Amino acid sequence: MRKLPVPPDAKSDKEALEVFRGWIVGGKLQCSLAPWVWKDTPEVWGRLVADVVHHLSRALERETGMDRGQLFRIITKKMNEELQSPSSDHSGDFLE
């Protein structure tokens, strides 16, 4: 299994909390979640997803040389399509 590094700030902050971890297994996403973190403010999860898209756009810009804005539009277009009409089954369980 290939693991990603933990950000240095997360290592040094005693209050740091992992809220999501994901793997591609057999071509499908499997994840471990901490839904209880913002159980009373689920809209914060939306902000987290948006933050991930911004970070991903920046990272892909560095990896591919493509324009960050163009990458952002490509990602959000597909994300909106998947939210409206999922192309795969999301009925599986998750780990807490």
> How, if at all, do strands 28-33 and 20-25 pair?
antiparallel
Single pTM value for the model: 0.85
**φ, ψ of residue 78 in degrees (nearest 5):** -65, -40
Sketch the domain layout of the chain as residue ranges: 8-84
When pLDDT is cut at 50, 70 and 90, the band that residue 90 belongs to is confident
Nearest-angstrom CA–CA distance, 14 and 16: 6
The mean pLDDT value for 27-42 works out to 92
30, 22 contact by CB (below 8 A): yes
Considering only residues 2 and 90, tell me which one the structure prediction assigns the higher pLDDT: 2
The pLDDT of 40-49, averaged and rounded, is 97
Given a cut of 70, whether residue 93 has pLDDT beyond it is no
Q: How many residues does the chain have?
A: 96
Q: What angle do CA 8, 6, 34 make, to 5 degrees?
A: 120
Q: Which structure tokens are listed for 28?
A: 């499908």
**Assigned CATH topology for domain 8-84:** putative pyruvate dehydrogenase fold (3.30.2370)
